[in-house]
Amino acid sequence: MHSSGRCFCSASASIGVFVSLIVGAIIGVLCAFGVISVGASTLWVVLALAFVLLFLVLLALLIAAVTADSPLGSCLRGCAAILLASILGTIIVALVLSFISASSVIAFSIAVAVEAFFFTLMLIALVAFISCILWTLRG
pLDDT of the residue at 74? 84
d(Cα 27, Cα 112) in Å, to the nearest integer? Answer: 7
What's the average model confidence in pLDDT over 50-69? 90
* Weakest mean pLDDT among 105-109, 111-115, 135-139: 135-139
d(Cα 55, Cα 135) in Å, to the nearest integer? Answer: 23
Strongest mean pLDDT among 37-51, 63-77, 100-114: 37-51
* Start-to-end CA span in the chain (Å): 9
pLDDT of the residue at 17? 93
pLDDT beyond 70 at 7 = no
d(Cα 36, Cα 30) in Å, to the nearest integer? Answer: 6
- pLDDT over 90 percentage in the chain: 50
Contact in structure between 126 and 53 (CB atoms under 8 Å): yes
- In what helix (H) or strand (E) does residue 50 lie, and over which residues does it extend? helix 40-66
Residue 117, helix vs strand vs coil: helix
Q: What is the pTM of this model?
A: 0.89
pLDDT beyond 70 at 1 = no
What's the average model confidence in pLDDT over 81-98? 93
